[in-house]
Structure 1
Amino acid sequence: MTQIFALTPLGVTGTLSFIALLIGLIGIGIYIYYKALPQTSKVVIAAVLLPMVIAFSWMFYKVNDAKLIVTADLITIDVPFYQFSLPIEEVDLVGVRQLNWSAETDTEFKPDLRVNGVGMPGFQLGWFSLGGHSKAFVAVTETDNVVLIPTVQGYPILLSLEQPEALLSHFK
């Protein structure tokens, strides 16, 4: 039986971060358009900026539809740019739990440095090193409902879920 657990959509901080980023990129494009530069330079800059605006716009749209899909034999993380699946045997089901960062506990699982991904206020997605110096896959939009999913491969998965209790009860 397939169960789908929705990841928490962007909050105000994450939404404003994306809007500021997109406005900044578009503003740079407008500035370059009106700047006295050779036409070749303008084309090269546009060739770099346009895909970035498209990619971040798509991510901004898709992040609110991110989900965790659990079947009898695998779990699938469906997030922008990083969709992947793991066999259920590679998940430490006993270790799945909700983290509590607001009480200053579980700080060894707080994302620290971005290794490969996107990190901005209110939104972290991709591979991060943690306070405990290990590596983790992170899809966090708010810090209240973060679930830790340990894997036997040595890295945890951290997800902001709308209903973390539903996932915890599913694995028990």
Structure 2
Amino acid sequence: MSRAPTPPPAFSVAPVPIWRLLWLWVPMAGAMAVVTVTTLQSSQRSPLELGYTLPFVLLVTGVLTWAFFRRRISLEGDDLVVVSTFYRRRVPVALLQLDKARIVDLAEHHEFKPSHKINGYAMPGFQSGHYRLGGRKAFCLITDASRMLYLPLRDDSVLLLSPEQPRALLEALQALAVPARAH
């Protein structure tokens, strides 16, 4: 009798209040209202165009809402895997500079705050994807800026993560890195 494979250790991501989605839903609802009013008032447009436009806007809103909830932090073998919205980052634990890792509060440590979005998904209180941190590349999954895990890599890039329990993730990474150092 074979045993089911054990799932990789997962670390809960700090929750984001659901009302943050209003930053997405309100503008999209406004766009649908404007499209509807201008289409119905225009003599050059037919109401049939609404049959194409409104479902498309609803589909985009649905995909962006789904992406908002797609976030996961796990350890798979010797890799840290971060899945966030449309992005995925797999980093071997050996590439992490765990001696320089810190748990930070962005309100107190502005130097760890991502400065420019390169390719990401963001709304107030939520950042996901690729950013710049000063001159360094940063991959972010930030849902709680008050207790964020700063993980520098050997290639001079950075991971900025918001696990629900940042200390537990850091300790798991350190425990995984110890056997690698012993060899």
TM-score range relative to shorter protein: 0.7 to 0.9
In structure 1, the partner of 2:12 is: 6
Matched-pair identity in %: 26
Post-superposition CA distance 1:85-144 (Å, at most 9, x none): 122222223322212333x33x222111211112221111111112x2322011111111
* Alignment-mate amino acid for residue 18 of structure 1: L
Secondary structure of the residue aligned to 2:115 is strand
1:127 correspondence with 2:135: no
Residue 89 of structure 2 corresponds to residue 87 of structure 1 = no
The amino acid that maps onto 1:4 is A
Unaligned runs of 5+ in 1: none
Q: Which runs of 5+ in 2 are unaligned?
A: 1-5, 175-183
Residue 57 of structure 2 is matched in structure 1 by 49
Selected match of 2:152 from 145, 150, 153: 150
SS in 1 for 2:91: strand
- Structure number with greater CO (CA < 8 Å, separation at least 6) is 1
The question of whether the paired residues in 2 share the 8 Å contact of 1:22 and 1:56 is answered with no
Kindly state the Cα deviation for residue 41 of structure 1 after the two structures are TM-superposed.
6.1
Structure 1: distance between partners of 2:111 and 2:138: 11
- Is 1:17 matched with 2:20? yes
Give, in whole Å, the separation in 2 of the partners of 1:78 and 1:134: 20
TM-score normalised by structure 1 residue count: 0.80
Q: How far apart are 1:9 and its partner, in Å?
A: 1.3
Q: Which amino acid aligns with 1:122?
A: G
> Given the superposition, is the C-alpha separation of residues 100 and 27 from structure 1 closer, same or farther in structure 2, using an over 3 Å criterion?
closer
Which structure would you say has the larger Rg?
A: 2
**Take 2:136 and 2:55, find their aligned partners in 1: how far apart are those partners?**
36
1:78 and 2:78 aligned: no
Measure, in 1, the Cα distance between the counterparts of 2:73 and 2:54: 36
